């Protein structure tokens, strides 16, 4: 990667002598290196290392917002096992991730391919597709309340044109989660831009050559573009998984912070928030955070295991 | 996707036809999808201008016959837009300043200076991006409360002055692409690293810094969870937070809700249109190149 300093000489200096024996140049660089990175080092300790350790400690205690912590050992984790709301939230989160991540990638990929076709007005389309991703989530969620309205909403009106009686969306236990997924997919613009950047890296002469050999649109995509896109797709999968577990703002706004109807949209992020900031159960909330963290870690490792080896890292 | 491929396939017979058919199919899809993507925005603006009768009309009224500003007047009476806008802008401005300054400072130390720890430290900083926010959320809150920072903007601003991993990554990439000679000659003239950072590297990095500032503007403008946790005094709310509470109190009154949403969305769209190029470059610049 970026290890530009000669490894042989460095290893030699490190093993035999101490810092003071280095050249003045090296000492000066070390000093300035520390100066420049000191904000990040302080930030790392203050805003990451310290809270991570405290959170781990809290998860073994009965801490609340008002009461100091009392050691519970694995008590919180045991309670989680029999907490049906927790399992429900985990199930809802998995439902959300399993549907929304592949759907989001498929839509983003489709849009990126369309935008890569070099048609007229490309920049206008690009802005239109990207707009939902940059508009404040809270505001667009409020707007979608109106879109999803069973009677006066756009969605059911349009479905009505095709003779379909639309469901109650956010008011209906079965359709509330699909509604949230539709809303998320509408904002797939960020991913689209990343995939578009990947598509633009595909060498054009490879494409032309495949064309001469008689490969159709589909085969050209499968055998030429896809290998170049695979790192981007892996990135999309992993970040989608992590973001899926942190899904919060749309549920909070669209369900008014309740996770309703009938708890069908109570996702893990919301349940965690409720425990910490509504029930003030800091210890319990921390245990939830760590269980989620472990699941995310395992999930990411699994993705790398299953998909990672199929990824092609082009020319570089 | 499958549909697009099937319709495009027969066009392979002739090169000219191929091109033309591809273009027609592509345009058809692009237009249909654009309409789908824009409908909620249209609905928001038209809803904000509709009278109560049109809002609750069935079948749906697409183009209101009478336009009215009463939703804006009603909405703005309960939704102190100017105050929330000011609050949001204060947070945005300081976060942008802090993120751009500190992240570029750290990125300099990780790219332009050769010292033993720079690669390990960079790896550590990057890997902290993998730690989900909810793990640190509760202890950060209790810590900020203990030092009396809740109900101030400090928890939403100060962390940005200690380097943001994603921006450090982005700026480091950019700094690595600046030729060594640029700083070497300044060093010969006796300039120290601070001078080189401030006088040579930062001016060259303006496009990357602009991208960072824009990212941070949008992040702070859009943030809900942070203000939700830390701000309880209604006078200190941000636009996002204010809109959330407005929504829960007026959930059945779509007119004022749409008016307030329009007012929150429009500034972002305006900023985006002016900064579009920088922004999209910023994203592609960070790339995810293997």
User: From the CA of B265, how many Å to the nearest CA of chain A?
Assistant: 6
Q: Do B102 and A10 touch (CB under 8 A)?
A: no
Stronger pLDDT, B204 or B289, i.e. the higher one:
B204
CB contact at 8 A, A137 and A249: yes
- Output the pLDDT for position B282: 62
Q: Do A119 and B26 touch (CB under 8 A)?
A: yes
Select the residue of A10, A43, A48 nearest B131 (Cβ to Cβ).
A48
Q: In this predicted model, what pLDDT tens digit does every residue of B16-28 receive, in sequence order?
A: 777 788 788 889 9
Contact of B57 with chain A, judged by CB distance below 8 Å, is answered with yes
Q: Do B257 and A142 touch (CB under 8 A)?
A: yes
Which residues in chain A touch residue B193, judged by CB atoms under 8 angstroms apart?
32, 35-36
Q: In this predicted model, what pLDDT tens digit does every residue of B124-181 receive, in sequence order?
A: 999 998 888 999 999 999 999 999 999 999 999 999 999 999 999 989 988 998 888 8
Task: Indicate the burial class of A197 (C-beta count within 10 angstroms; 0-12, 13-18, 19 or more).
Answer: buried
Give the count of alpha carbons within 13 A of A141, CB side only.
27
Average pLDDT score over chain A: 88
Which residues in chain B touch residue A44, judged by CB atoms under 8 angstroms apart?
124-125, 128, 162
Q: What is the distance between the alpha carbons of residues A192 and B136, in angstroms, rounded to a whole number?
A: 30
| B149 contacts: CB under 8 Å, gap ≥ 6 | B155, B158, B230
3-state helix, strand, coil in chain A (%, to 5): 70, 0, 25
- Output the pLDDT for position A11: 43
Res. B64: pLDDT tops 90: no
Q: What is the distance between the alpha carbons of residues B80 and B287, in angstroms, rounded to a whole number?
A: 40
Select the residue of A65, A117, A314 nearest B290 (Cβ to Cβ).
A314
Q: Do A289 and B139 touch (CB under 8 A)?
A: no
Confidence of residue A152 (pLDDT cuts 50, 70, 90): confident
Closest residue in A to B217 (Cα) is: A134
Phi-psi region of A215 (alpha: psi -120 to 50; beta: other; left: phi over 0): beta
Select the residue of A5, A114, A154 nearest B43 (Cβ to Cβ).
A154
User: From the CA of A34, how many Å to the nearest CA of chain B?
Assistant: 7
Select the residue of A42, A121, A248 nearest B162 (Cβ to Cβ).
A42
Give the count of alpha carbons within 13 A of B61, CB side only.
18
Q: What is the distance between the alpha carbons of residues A148 and A170, in angstroms, rounded to a whole number?
A: 7
Look up the pTM and report it.
0.87
Coil, helix or strand at residue A61: strand
Q: In this predicted model, what pLDDT tens digit does every residue of B200-244 receive, in sequence order?
A: 999 999 888 988 998 899 899 989 999 999 999 999 999 999 999
Q: In this predicted model, what pLDDT tens digit does every residue of A9-26 receive, in sequence order?
A: 444 444 444 555 578 888
Beta-carbon pairs below 8 A across chains A and B: 299
- Output the pLDDT for position A14: 46
Residues A40-59, buried b or exposed e (16+ Cβ, 10 A)?
bbebbeebbeebbebbbebb
């Amino acid at each position: 990667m970026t290890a530009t300093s000669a490894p042989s000489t460095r290893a030699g200096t490190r093993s035999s002598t101490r810092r003071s024996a280095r050249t003045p140049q090296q000492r000066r660089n070390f000093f300035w290196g520390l100066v420049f990175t000191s904000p990040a080092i302080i930030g790392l300790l203050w805003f990451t290392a310290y809270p991570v350790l405290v959170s781990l400690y809290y998860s073994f205690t009965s801490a609340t917002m008002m009461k100091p912590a009392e050691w519970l050992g694995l008590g919180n984790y045991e309670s989680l096992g029999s907490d049906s709301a927790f399992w429900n939230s985990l199930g809802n989160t998995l439902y959300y991730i399993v549907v929304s991540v592949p759907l989001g990638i498929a839509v983003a990929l489709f849009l990126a391919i369309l935008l890569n076709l070099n048609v007229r007005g490309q920049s206008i389309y690009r802005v239109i597709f990207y707009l939902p991703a940059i508009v404040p989530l809270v505001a667009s969620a409020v707007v979608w309340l109106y879109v999803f309205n069973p009677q006066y909403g756009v969605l059911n009106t349009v479905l009505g044109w095709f003779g379909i009686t639309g469901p109650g969306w956010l008011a209906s236990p079965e359709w509330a989660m699909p509604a949230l997924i539709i809303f998320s997919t509408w904002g797939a613009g960020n991913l689209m831009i990343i995939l578009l950047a990947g598509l633009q890296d595909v060498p054009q002469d490879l494409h032309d050559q495949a064309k001469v050999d008689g490969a159709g649109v589909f085969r050209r995509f499968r055998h030429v573009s896809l290998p170049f896109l695979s790192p981007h797709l892996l990135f999309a999968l992993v970040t989608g998984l992590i973001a899926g577990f942190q899904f919060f703002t749309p549920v909070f706004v669209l369900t008014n912070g309740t996770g309703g109807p009938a708890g069908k949209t109570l996702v893990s992020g919301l349940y965690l928030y409720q425990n910490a900031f509504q029930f003030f159960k800091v210890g319990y909330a921390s245990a939830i955070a760590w269980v989620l963290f472990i699941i995310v870690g395992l999930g990411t490792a699994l993705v790398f295991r299953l998909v990672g080896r199929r990824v092609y890292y082009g020319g570089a | 996707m499958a549909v697009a491929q099937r319709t495009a396939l027969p066009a392979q017979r002739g090169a000219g036809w191929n091109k033309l058919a591809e273009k027609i199919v592509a345009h058809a899809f692009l237009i249909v999808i654009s309409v789908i993507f824009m409908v909620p925005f249209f609905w928001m603006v038209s809803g904000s201008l509709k009278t109560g009768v049109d809002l609750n009309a069935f079948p749906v009224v697409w183009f209101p016959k009478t336009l009215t500003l009463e939703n804006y007047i009603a909405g703005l009476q309960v939704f102190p837009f100017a105050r929330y806008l000011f609050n949001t802008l204060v947070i945005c401005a300081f976060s942008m300043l802090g993120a751009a300054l500190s992240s570029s400072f750290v990125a300099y130390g990780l790219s332009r200076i050769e010292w033993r720890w720079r690669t390990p430290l960079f790896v550590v900083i990057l890997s902290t991006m993998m730690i989900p926010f909810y793990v640190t959320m509760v202890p950060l809150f209790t810590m900020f409360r203990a030092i009396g920072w809740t109900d101030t903007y400090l928890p939403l601003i100060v962390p940005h002055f200690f380097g943001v991993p994603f921006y450090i990554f982005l700026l480091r990439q950019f700094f690595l692409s600046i030729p060594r000679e640029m700083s070497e000659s300044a060093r010969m003239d006796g300039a120290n690293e601070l001078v080189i950072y401030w006088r040579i590297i930062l001016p060259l990095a303006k496009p990357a810094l602009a991208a960072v500032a824009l990212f941070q503007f949008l992040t702070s403008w859009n943030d809900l969870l942070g203000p939700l946790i830390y701000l309880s005094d209604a006078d200190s709310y941000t636009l996002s937070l204010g809109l959330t509470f407005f929504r829960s109190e007026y959930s059945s009154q779509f007119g004022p809700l749409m008016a307030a949403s329009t007012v929150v969305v429009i500034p972002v769209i305006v900023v985006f249109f002016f900064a579009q190029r920088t922004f999209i470059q910023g994203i592609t610049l960070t790339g995810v190149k293997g």
